[in-house]
Amino acid sequence: MTDWIATFKRGLSIENPLTILMIGLCATLAVSTKFEGAFFMGLAVIFVLTMSSMIISALRRVIPEQVRIPIFIVVIASFVTIVDLTMHAFLPPVYNFLGVWIPLIVVNCVILGRAEAFAYHNSVSLAVADGLGMGTGYSFVIIVLATFREFVGSGEIVFMNQRIVALPPSYQGPGIVLLFPGAFIIFGFMIAGARWVTERQGRRVVETSKHCTIEEGRAL
Amino acid sequence: MDRAPSTPTSMVLSVLVTCVVASAALTFTYEMTRERIAEQERVAREKALKDVLPAATEFTAVDANVLSAAEEAAGDTQVAAVFDAGESGWGILVAPRGYGGPMSMVVGVDRNGKVTGVKIITQNETPGLGSKVMTEPEFLPQFEAWDASEIEKAAKAFDAISGATKSSNGVRKGVLAAGHVYADVLSGEGGGSKQ
């Protein structure tokens, strides 16, 4: 159980896929202009990551090493298509906003990276912990980024057609926050923040990421 | 850890089994969601038609002959459907190519051949650049009151969005196609039978 919790927590902090491992950034920067989009993107990633990690880990003994990547991709693509169809059916506004980024989860490095680096080598329960942890870590960062960008850039936060927070209409946000350069700058600050927090907790990023760099290096 | 050996048989079998199971799961999901997706698309289309032709109460699809004539009139641009909205005019569904593939849009044309409005239903343009064709407040209204019977002339005064030239031109192409459909097919066709 302690292993389980430790694995789960790694995805949130010292091996956060976005601020530490820095994989799967393209979709993150693209969809983080709206809180709502980021929220559902996060949910989609948690679902796909957890389910595919679970299946791959359960089948790890029967998947021959030389064809593992095609099998991983079939499993991941199936779950992504399930998410895609379900969102299209039940959440059309979100589906329209996320657009091509939903099918692109298939090639998101976070998912394939975790399948290769973790799920293929660990037990089902640990793989689920890793999937949930990585997914939650991903969602947390993307939601914080999107909340900031939507609030500063457009002066309001809209969720399911409800205005949650709104500045007076006279507020004219700096447009750059919503564009890609702004995303990079803000994300840079978030990485700095994450480093500061991990170092303050006394866990040296260099030490702890030792084993993950080797694994990630192979995965990507 | 002991793994299955990578022999030709085991490799072919494992990929085959994975693919069969995956297709079964996808077929199931597809069947479960198909009706709802079709329904959502119908609602979105109806809403767009209502937006460009607010006075219309009923939209009936034109018969196949008119549609194929319309497709011919539109040239390269695909015409997905044409709806007769009675006295209000017609809603023409076109799918011109933008920067990121076809965009699905509705062009409303009234009985006198004036464009009543343009509405984009779905598009895959670059977010933040091409997608401005949907959000830029002055872009889509500029097509209103274009004369569909002389669409080429009207289309000369056209403002594209900077940074979204291809997407803007895509929308313009869609309106042009709808204009041709009106001029070549609808102006002679439905106008007479309705009056």
Interface of B with A (CB under 8 A): 1-7, 10-11, 14-15, 18-19, 22, 25-26, 29-30, 32-33, 36-37, 40, 44, 100, 122, 124, 127-128
Percentage of chain A with pLDDT > 90?
A: 49
Please give the mean pLDDT across all residues of chain A: 86
Alpha-carbon Rg for chain A in angstroms: 18
Residue A5: CB atoms within 10 A of its CB come to 11
- Indicate the pLDDT class of residue A213, thresholds 50, 70 and 90: very low
Say if residues B103 and B171 touch (Cβ distance below 8 Å).
Answer: yes
Residue B40 domain-assigned? no
Residue in chain B lying closest to A122 (CA) = B1
A66 pLDDT above the threshold of 70? yes
Q: Which of B23, B17, B7, B29 is CA-nearest to residue A59?
A: B17
User: What was the ipTM of the complex prediction?
Assistant: 0.76
Count CA atoms within 13 Å of residue B14 on its CB side.
Answer: 25
Range of the domain at B131: 51-194
Residues 10-69 (A) with a CB less than 8 A from some CB of B: 30, 33, 60-67
Asked if B14 and A33 come within 8 Å (Cβ–Cβ), the reply is no
Residue in chain B lying closest to A55 (CA) = B18
Q: Where are the beta strands (DSSP E) in B52-165?
A: 60-61, 78-84, 90-95, 104-109, 115-122
What digits encode the pLDDT tens for the residues B86-144? 888 899 999 999 888 889 999 999 988 889 999 998 887 776 678 888 888 889 999 98
Q: Which residue did the predictor score with more confidence, A212 or A74?
A: A74
| The total number of structural domains that make up chain B | 1
Q: Give domain limits for chain A.
A: 2-214
What digits encode the pLDDT tens for the residues A92-124? 888 888 888 899 999 888 899 999 999 999 999
Residue B27 domain-assigned? no
What digits encode the pLDDT tens for the residues A130-175? 999 999 999 999 999 999 998 888 888 888 878 888 888 788 778 7
Nearest-10 Cα torsion for A204, A207, A213, A215: -130
Residue B22 domain-assigned? no
Residue B2 domain-assigned? no
Say if residues B179 and B187 touch (Cβ distance below 8 Å).
Answer: no
Residue B111 domain-assigned? yes
